[in-house]
Amino acid sequence: MEKLKKRWGLDSNYQIVVILIVFAVTGSTAAQLAQPVTELIGLDRETTSAWLYWTIRILLIFPLYQVLLVCFGWLFGQFRFFWNFEKKMLHRIGLGFLFKE
């Protein structure tokens, strides 16, 4: 726990637990929300090629996850941590220009 606190710049074990809960809830929620979105755009698991279906579904999960991570972080009182986490992650994948300050 001490390594995570130091690496993430946190003060308490409580913050670590909350942050790990946010990661878990966000991942589960993004995966669940991708299903109705794929149905909304007309992709059915039974009638669509598995490669196409899963590629599109994963591409849908990624932006959903990013938005939900900040939203759940805010709901759990850890907005600053997750906002900084988002900026760092998007910068690493080449989308850092979105956050020029």
Q: Report the alpha-carbon distance of residue 83 to residue 66 in Å, rounded.
A: 10
Q: What is the mean pLDDT of residues 9-19?
A: 90
Q: How far lies 3's CA from each of 7, 15, 31, 96, in Å?
A: 6, 13, 29, 27
**How many folded domains does the chain comprise?**
1
Tell me the pLDDT tens digit for each residue of 54-98.
999 999 998 899 999 999 999 999 999 999 998 888 888 887 676
Question: Which residue in the block uniquely carries the two structure tokens 């809960």?
Answer: 21
pLDDT category, 99, cuts 50, 70, 90? low
* Containing structural domain, residue 93: 2-99
Tell me the pLDDT tens digit for each residue of 46-55.
888 889 899 9
Question: Which residue in the block uniquely carries the two structure tokens 């966000």?
Answer: 26
Identify the burial level of 22 via C-beta atoms within 10 angstroms of its C-beta, where 0-12 means exposed, 13-18 middle and 19 or more buried.
buried
Token pair for residue 56?
Answer: 């599109």
Decide if pLDDT at 23 tops 90.
yes
